[in-house]
Chains A and B, each alone.
With several copies, the nearest count.
Chain A
Amino acid sequence: MKARVFVTLKNGVLDPQGKAIGHALNSLGFPGVGEVRQGKVIDLEIAERDESKARASVEQMCEKLLANTVIEKYEIEISP
Chain B
Amino acid sequence: MKSAVVVFPASNCDRDAAVALEQVTGQKPAMVWHGESELPDVDVVVLPGGFAHGDYLRCGAMAALSAVMRDIKAKAEKGLTVLGICNGFQVLTEAGMLPGALMRNARLKFVCRPVGIDVQESQSVFSRKYESGQRISFPVANGIGNYFADAETLDRLEGEGRVVFRYADDDNPNGSLRNIAGILNEKRNVLGLMPHPERVCDPLLGGTDGRALFESLFESLS
* A residues adjacent to B (C-beta < 8 A): 12-14, 16-17, 20-21, 24, 28, 38, 40, 64-66, 68, 70-71
* B residues adjacent to A (C-beta < 8 A): 53-54, 56-58, 61-62, 65, 93-94, 99-101, 103-108, 146, 148, 150, 175
Contact between B65 and A16, CB atoms less than 8 A apart: no
Q: Select the residue from A12, A16, A17, A64 with max chain B CB neighbours within 10 A.
A: A16
Say what secondary structure dominates the interface of chain B.
Answer: loop
The 5 A-B residue pairs whose C-beta atoms are closest, nearest first, are A20-B56, A17-B56, A24-B62, A71-B101, A70-B101
| Count of A-B residue pairs with CB < 8 Å | 52
Q: Considering only CB atoms, which chain B residue lies closest to A64 in the complex?
A: B65
Neighbouring B residues of A68 by C-beta, 8 Å:
58, 61, 94, 101
Beyond the given A20-B57, A24-B57, A71-B101, please list 20 additional residue pairs across the A-B interface where CB-CB is below 8 A: A12-B150, A14-B103, A14-B148, A16-B54, A16-B103, A16-B107, A16-B175, A17-B57, A17-B104, A17-B108, A20-B54, A20-B108, A24-B62, A38-B57, A40-B57, A65-B62, A66-B57, A68-B58, A68-B61, A71-B103
Nearest Cβ distance between residue A58 and chain B, in whole angstroms? 15
Contact flag A71-B148 (CB < 8 Å), given A24-B53, A38-B57: yes
19 contacting pairs across A/B (C-beta < 8 A): A13-B103, A13-B148, A14-B103, A14-B148, A16-B105, A16-B146, A17-B54, A20-B56, A20-B57, A24-B57, A24-B65, A28-B65, A38-B57, A65-B57, A65-B61, A68-B58, A68-B94, A70-B93, A70-B99
